[in-house]
């Protein structure tokens, strides 16, 4: 299974935020859209990602400063790891596990077209395993024609 097969039923709407906005703005947007990560933009250009973990990092690294007084650019993740539509889900899973991340931007023709979450990946893999399990049970019980 490849990334674009997982994204088909998923809303590929990219939620983004300007790098000069505050952490409070980002938290509000994440809650409003029920997402765990935002693409951070400098104008139209993606320059990073802001995730739930970045909220925690900003809390611990900035001390008593209020979220409204912390710019996203100060605490965002700048090393964007991306995947492409044709990447295999096993490869994507390996990237997520190895880098301890839960969200990956999906890029097509140098443009971010979707955000893939670990939930999307696990859901697709569980569905595949269920189908394979069903097939094998039918095969073992001689229901398989052939």
What CATH number should be reported for the domain holding residue 94? 3.10.580.10
Q: How confident is the model at residue 5 (pLDDT cuts 50, 70, 90)?
A: confident
Q: How many domains does the chain have?
A: 1
Single out the residue of 5, 47, 54, 1 nearest to residue 26, CA to CA.
54
Residue 95 lies in a domain: yes
Residue 19 lies in a domain: yes
Phi–psi pair at 103, nearest 5 degrees: -140, 135
Write the CA distances from 125 to 10, 37, 84, 102, 105, integer angstroms. 15, 22, 18, 15, 19
Residue 32 lies in a domain: yes
Residue 146 lies in a domain: no
Residue 72 lies in a domain: yes
Q: Write down the pLDDT at residue 106.
A: 92
For residue 97, is pLDDT > 90? Answer: yes
pLDDT in tens, 18-77: 999 999 999 999 999 999 999 999 998 999 999 999 999 888 877 778 999 999 999 999
Single out the residue of 136, 125, 19 nearest to residue 75, CA to CA.
19
Q: How confident is the model at residue 120 (pLDDT cuts 50, 70, 90)?
A: confident
Residue 76 lies in a domain: yes
Residue 68 lies in a domain: yes
Rounded to two decimals, the pTM is: 0.77
Sequence-distant contacts of 24-31: CB under 8 A, at least 24 apart: 24/66, 24/67, 24/68, 25/68, 25/72, 26/50, 26/55, 26/72, 27/55, 27/67
**Domain range for 110:** 3-140
Residue 145 lies in a domain: no
Angle in degrees, CA 80, 84, 88, rounded to 5: 115
- The Cα–Cα gap between 117 and 36 comes to 9
């Amino acid at each position: 299974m490849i990334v674009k097969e997982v994204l088909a039923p998923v809303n590929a709407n990219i939620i983004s935020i300007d790098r000069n906005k505050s952490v409070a703005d980002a938290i509000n947007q994440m809650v409003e859209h029920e997402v765990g990560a935002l693409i951070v933009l400098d104008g139209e250009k993606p320059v990073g990602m802001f995730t739930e973990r970045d909220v925690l990092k900003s809390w611990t690294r900035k001390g008593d400063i209020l979220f409204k007084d912390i710019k996203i650019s100060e605490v965002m993740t700048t090393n964007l790891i991306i995947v492409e539509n044709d990447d295999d889900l096993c490869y994507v899973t390996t990237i997520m596990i190895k880098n301890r991340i839960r969200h990956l931007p999906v890029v097509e023709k140098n443009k971010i077209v979707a955000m893939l979450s670990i939930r999307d990946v696990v859901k697709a893999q569980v569905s595949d395993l269920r189908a394979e399990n069903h097939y094998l049970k039918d095969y073992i019980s001689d229901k398989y024609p052939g």
